[in-house]
Amino acid sequence: MSAGLIYALTGVLLFVMGAAGVVLLDHLLRKILAFNLLGSGAFLVMVGLAQRGGGVDPVPHAMVLTGIVVSVAATALALALARRLLAVDADPEQD
C-alpha cells in the first residue's frame, strides 16, 4: 500500500465524516465545522491521488492550495452570516 493510497483513503474517511455531520447535525456552527472537515477530506484525496509512480503532479497541488484559500474565505463568510443570523434571532426588533 503506497503513501498516496493511505492519504486518499484517509481523505475519503474525512469526507464521509464531514458529509454525515452536515446531514445529521442541527447546530449551525457544528455544520460549518463539518463542512470544513468535508473539504479537508476532498483536499486530502486530491493530494493522495496526485502521486503517480514516484512522481508528483503539481497541478492538483496547486488546485488544493487555491481551494484552501477559498475555503478559509468561505468559512469566514459563513461564520459572519451565522453570527448575524443568531444576533437577529436573539433580538427580533433589530433590522
Q: What CATH code is carried by the domain that includes residue 11?
A: 1.10.287.3510
Q: Could you tell me the pLDDT band of residue 1, with boundaries at 50, 70 and 90?
A: confident
For 7-39, how does the pLDDT look when each residue is reduced to its tens digit (9 = 90+)?
A: 999 999 999 999 999 999 999 999 999 999 999
- Give the total number of structural domains in the chain: 1
Is 95 domain-assigned? no
Q: Is residue 85 part of a domain?
A: yes
Range of the domain at 14: 3-90
DSSP string, 34-82: HHHHHHHHHHHHHHHHTEETTEE-HHHHHHHHHHHHHHHHHHHHHHHHH
pLDDT value of residue 94: 62
Say if 29 falls within a structural domain. yes
Which amino acid, residue 74? A
| Domain annotation covers residue 11 | yes
Tens of pLDDT, residues 38-90: 999 999 999 988 877 778 888 989 999 999 999 999 999 999 999 998 887 77
Give the Cα separation of 75 and 21 in Å (integer): 16
Residues contacting 77, CB < 8 A, separation 6+: none
Residue 51 belongs to a domain: yes
Domain-embedded: residue 55: yes
